[in-house]
Amino acid sequence: MNKKPELTYMKSVLSVFAIFLLLAFASCSPYKKGINSYQLGEYQVAIDNLEKALEKSGTNQAMANFYLAESYRLSNRIDEAEPYYAAALEQGLQDEDALFYYGYALKANSKYKEAREHFGKYLSNAQNQEYIKRANTEVETLTSLEELLANESFYKIKHLESVNTPEAEYAPVALNNQLYFTSSRGDAKVYKATGKSFTNLFRADIGQAMEPVEGSVSPLGEEFNNSDRAEGAIAFSPDGNSMVFARGNAKGKRGGEEVNLYIAYFRGGKWSEPEMMRISDPRSWDSTPAFSQNGKTLYFASNRRGGFGGVDLYSATLDARGNWGRVQNMGPVINTAGNEMFPFVSRDGRLYFSSDGHPSLGGLDLFVAVRRAGEITIENLGVPMNSSADDFGLTYMGYDRGYFSSNRESGKGDDDIYAFLNEDPDLKIVNYYLAGTTYTTGNQDQEQILPNVEVRLMADNERQVDLTMSDNEGKFQFKLEEGVLEYVLIGEKEGYFTSRRIFPMEGKYIDKTTLTKFETDTTFYTSLTLDKIVLDKAIVLENIYYDFDRAEIRPDAALELDKLVNILKDNPQIVIELSSHTDSRGEVAYNIDLSQRRAESAVEYIISKGITPRRLTARGYGENRPIIPEATTEEEHQVNRRTEFKVTDITPEAVVVEEDEAAGVEVEVPSTQQENNSRQKREEDKKPRRDAIFDELN
């Protein structure tokens, strides 16, 4: 019997089986496993496999080294990434990410001269515009680094032995003689991105010299530390009755796939169940919260769409009903193309934060935003507060001392908590207050007290600083931020026109070099008058002049009409008639036509500023409604030539003003639509590469 066909068949089967084994082996190779883990964000698993892959022949050495370096960088260990970036580049890798981040790896290891030279070399062939901007900043920073390192510092720091462990401890905040912080200690679950345990929230009693009491560390309750989630930075309102913290969401579970902010309230002697805050975007990383000193603004970090870089600082404000909203990016002076996070507002109103985008010694550095003459400058806190490692999570207790976090070499192995003391002999604190009274106009135009007025304090182009309610005697008071050149007070009460008052601060700040006391209080006084809304009561607009026989809006008239625009924006519930009147000289029919055209011209101007047409009616009355019926002098004729408005209706549904990004102008939409529009603008789900110091909460 001829067996050749059978042998041929067996050889074919064996060949196919061998190929299958080879493919199976290749798919399970350390290199393949490493790449798969890297793509899943499991950086520690990727590192373990890629290090094994480097020992095997046939591995793409350059790519293995590159992904090793990236895994270290993205798990917040960029100092350990340096030799792998170097190896990948020496092996011929042409990758802009590798060239760019190699400079940061050198800087993280305090190789400042080499880092400066490398960034300069990188810029000669760079393509990525964001990287070019950051690299230029680094060249400037590294060039002037000697000056930064030489700056005199009055900070003294202390490593807290009693609270730190080889695991991570960071984001400290003091409340009621207890230190709250985040730590990865004692959790059996391991986060595959870093190879570290999940983080939870802890507290410890504060003893002498700001040192936590030995053995007093304990985790917060199960309502705050979920077994299947990682909890992050925590913040308390000044009164201690509100707690906000970050929590990572398990994929596929209710609540989103990223990190969100949760809030709990202390009521009836216990904390309520934490709830996700509405200001969080479930598909973004929202973390590192901090309250303002009045408790009415919440600062936090987020990578949501519309920012200036990877992670930006944002603010949200508390309205009169106790709801958090009005989320605003803090702008390009504070935010950069890099990452800004861990905000904190001290008692004297200064904003501290951490950034790797501003000029730094390496990694995240601690910065303070200082306002002088209305301009904000960003200052690096220098050494010893900053190092070539990550320095972040600063909080104050008092005016001259507090805590911060760092993974510098002097610690126990990971992120550790340090105490600091500012011993600057010239440190002086000035507390500025603005007190006032709310009034309305009574009979015979006499001012009378108007109680229970909601008063907002605004600064910096409509930034809300504070919100309060005047008491039964019309009294209110705000604590001011130092360095603001002009504040605006806005008073609101149902049935009254919303009123604004500018309060300039130029020349009012005290020269601290003249002070002898450590702390000084000074108060300024003002008032705010709200007029009652009366239907069909004419209100004259001053200085609305037109050229002879013309209806076009002159620049001086536009300035006055802008005041009416502000009234309409501040009072979205009112509908008005805008009327124009002429003097008695000229033909009656002609005067009516001219006044109608002038009224329509004014209305068109107001509409161009974003006011919806349905709130406006133009009426020309000609000479039919004179204030002085028998006018003879030019002054009397001028009184009759006027533009007025009157409220004709108060609508049940107010409208609000928001920016139309496409048109580049402001438009009005019903308030019920605003929430829908904001939801539509939320970012698409994305996973940008970012350091594991905040990625670990995912």
Cβ neighbours for 19, distance < 8 A, ≥ 6 positions apart: none
Per-residue pLDDT, 193: 63
Q: Calculate Rg over the CA atoms of the chain.
A: 32
Q: In whole angstroms, give the CA distance from residue 600 to residue 553.
A: 10
pLDDT at 253: 41
Helix (H, G, I), strand (E, B), or coil: what is residue 390? coil
| Whole-angstrom distance, CA of residue 509 vs CA of residue 511 | 7
pLDDT tens readout for residues 103-159:
999 998 989 999 999 999 999 999 999 899 889 988 988 888 877 888 888 999 999
Cα torsion through 668, 672, 673, 679, rounded to 10: 130
Pull the structure tokens for residue 347: 């008692």
For residue 177, the model assigns a pLDDT of 93
Residue 27 has what pLDDT? 53
Cβ neighbors of 663 (< 8 A, separation 6 or more) are none
Which residue in this structure is represented by tokens 């590159």? 66
User: What SS3 state is found at 450?
Assistant: coil
Q: Coil, helix or strand for 299?
A: strand
> Residue 603 belongs to what H/E stretch?
helix 588-608
Tens-digit pLDDT profile for residues 462-516: 788 999 999 999 999 999 999 999 999 999 999 999 999 999 999 999 999 999 9
pLDDT score for 19: 42
Tokens of 511: 């020269």
Output the six-digit token pair for 305. Answer: 């769409």
pLDDT at position 641, please? 80
Q: Tell which residue, 531, 526, 501, 528, has the closest CA to residue 441.
A: 531
Q: How far apart are CA 324 and CA 380, in angstroms?
A: 31
Q: Residue 674: what pLDDT?
A: 40
Q: What DSSP designation does 206 have? A: B
Hey, which bits of 471-581 come out as E strands? 475-479, 486-492, 499-504, 519-530, 539-541, 574-581
Cis ω for the linkage preceding 384 (within 30 of 0): yes
Task: For 404-421, write each residue's pLDDT tens digit.
Answer: 999 998 888 789 999 999
Q: Of 517, 417, 481, whose CA–CA distance to 217 is shortest? A: 417
pLDDT of residue 682: 32
d(CA 576, CA 600) in angstroms, rounded, equals 13
Residue 668 tokens, joined: 């009005």
In angstroms, the CA 166 to CA 696 distance is 17
Residue 226: its pLDDT value, please?
87
Length of the chain: 698
30-44: b (≥16 Cβ within 10 Å) or e: bbebbbebbeebbbb
Distance CA 645, CA 540 (A): 7
Place of tokens 């883990």: 37
With 0-12 CB in 10 A as exposed, 13-18 as middle and 19+ as buried, what is 8?
exposed
Q: What CA–CA distances, in Å, run from 127 to 97, 124, 133, 357?
A: 11, 9, 11, 19
Residue 399, judged by CB atoms within 10 A of its CB (0-12, 13-18, 19+), counts as middle
Instruction: Please report how the helices 61-74 and 78-90 are oriented relative to each other, as an axis angle in degrees rounded to 10.
Output: 160
The structure tokens 């000084």 sit at: 520
SS3 of 164-205: the string is: CCCCCEEEEEEECCEEEEEECCCCCCEECCCCEECCEEEEEE
Contact predicate 336/329, CB 8 Å: no
DSSP for residue 614: G
| β-sheet bridge partners, residue 665 | 660
List, for the chain, all residue ranges whose pLDDT scores fall below the cut of 50: 1-26, 252-256, 655-698
536: nearest Cα among 651, 647, 625, 614:
647
CA distance 614 to 655: 11
Pairwise CA distance, residues 420 & 160, whole Å: 10
**197 vs 43: CA distance, rounded Å:** 14
What lies within 8 Å, CB to CB, of 274 at 6+ separation is: 223, 224, 243, 245, 247, 262, 263, 264
Nearest Cα residue to 184 out of 194, 569, 175:
194
pLDDT of residue 28: 66
Q: What does the alpha-carbon distance between residue 74 and residue 88 come to, in Å, rounded to a whole number? A: 17
